[in-house]
Amino acid sequence: MSINEILLEVKGLKMHFPLTQGIIIQRQVGAVKAVDGLNFFIRRGETLGLVGESGCGKSTTGRAILQLYRPTAGQVLFEGQDLCKMGGERLRQMRRRMQMIFQDPYASLNPRMTVGNIIGEPMEIHNLAKGKEKQEKVQELLRVVGLNPYFSNRYPHEFSGGQRQRIGVARALAVQPEFIVCDEPISALDVSIQAQIINLLEELQAEFHLTYLFIAHDLSVVRHLSDRVAVMYLGKIVEIATRDDLYRSPLHPYTKALLSAVPIPDPTVEARRERIILVGDVPSPVNPPSGCNFHTRCPIAIPLCSEQEPAFADKGSGHWASCHRV
């Protein structure tokens, strides 16, 4: 197992949701182009951060990779095997190796199941453990995520948001996955609890050699956790680079604006900073702008930007961006 081994590769991934009209006979009148042609890869053991504003398609990307949505086009290669072409038993077998941690710890745990059953269910489904062995594993997992092992008979409502998120993490770990999609796992939590979960995810990654796709809208958190970062805008990746490159020398005007908009908890820094304030709102993904998606809000747009879509190209040492101006 080499360090640079690519675990997951996404090629030309598209996820379009049809828009229909009519009550009895439904005609398709358009499509929400939630994800529109993504190319990226994740190396084994690394964390790829995926950032963007709400509605940019970052969660859809995570779900399409795990085949929770079947992508409209493109390939998702997990160790070179295309998940999009798999179905039934073969896909189920693969799913054991990929798990997800959801955003809302209040909605993602079944309120009628005990914690023990929630964490034990995936083990049963994948025939990993039964009976006493399963219970022991559940208790072990609870300990690993920092909860009391004797909580396994309790129900989700007895726990706080942060504790519930720990249960969600334990459930994801139950099948000993290699790859976990973390879909905004901390944005529903209080600030003091967020740091607990961030640290937990880091510790688990080191202990179990996990590979993360970390989806978030908080750029500071992504910077803290990720090895490489991809920035999404309106269904497309506009820039992808190592963490230090992206935060130190962002190329794409959208990334620059996004970084400058993040408040820094230090009044002296804040007073000196220059903000790039973007005008307007994100356009609708049903009818994205022509040429470069971003040209309607871009401070440095030229006429070419509205005519021709810029290529997503390597601008040097693995720093990719799609912009005519860089």
Partner 1 sequence: MGTLLQVKNLKTQFFTQDGVVKAVDDVSFDLDEGETLGIVGESGCGKSVTVLSVMRLIPQPPGKIVGGQVIFDGEDLLKVDDEEIRRVRGNKIAMVFQDPMTSLNPVLTINRQVSEALELHLGMNKDESRKRSIELLEMVGIPEAAKRIDDYPHQFSGGMRQRVMIAMALSCNPQLLIADEPTTALDVTIQAQIIELVKRLKKGLGMAVIWITHDMGVVAGMCERVIVMYAGHIAESARVSDIYADPRHPYTLGLLGSLPRLDAARKSKLTPIEGLPPDLINTPPGCPFAPRCAWVMDICHQEYPRLRGVGPGHEIACWANVKEGRA
Under the rule (CB under 8 A), what is the footprint of partner 1? 53-54, 160, 162-163, 190-196, 198-199, 202, 217, 219-221, 223-225, 247, 257-270, 275, 277-278, 281-282
| Smallest distance, partner 1 to C-beta of residue 130, A | 34
| Smallest distance, partner 1 to C-beta of residue 235, A | 16
Coil/strand/helix, residue 154: coil
Distance from the Cα of residue 271 to its chain's centroid: 33
Q: Toward partner 1, which CB reaches closer, 42 or 282?
A: 282
| Smallest distance, partner 1 to C-beta of residue 269, A | 6
Q: Toward partner 1, which CB reaches closer, 122 or 250?
A: 250
Largest Cα separation within the chain, whole Å, is 68
Residue 9, CB half-sphere, CA atoms under 13 Å: how many? 9
Dump strand ranges (E) for the chain. 6-21, 27-43, 47-51, 73-78, 81-82, 98-101, 179-183, 211-216, 228-233, 236-242, 313-314, 320-321
Of 309, 252, 259, the closest CA to residue 36 belongs to 309
| Smallest distance, partner 1 to C-beta of residue 265, A | 4
Q: Toward partner 1, which CB reaches closer, 109 or 257?
A: 257
Specify burial of residue 260 (Cβ count, 10 A radius: 0-12, 13-18, 19+).
middle
Q: Toward partner 1, which CB reaches closer, 13 or 201?
A: 201
Q: Toward partner 1, which CB reaches closer, 40 or 254?
A: 254
Q: Toward partner 1, which CB reaches closer, 39 or 260?
A: 260
* Residue 44 to residues 61, 205, 258, Cα–Cα distance (Å): 19, 11, 28
Q: Toward partner 1, which CB reaches closer, 120 or 156?
A: 156
| Smallest distance, partner 1 to C-beta of residue 309, A | 22
Sheet strand arrangement including 47-51: 98-101, 179-183, 211-216, 47-51, 228-233, 236-242, 320-321, 313-314
Of 77, 71, 52, the closest CA to residue 238 belongs to 52
| Smallest distance, partner 1 to C-beta of residue 254, A | 9
| Smallest distance, partner 1 to C-beta of residue 302, A | 21
Strands 211-216 and 320-321: unpaired
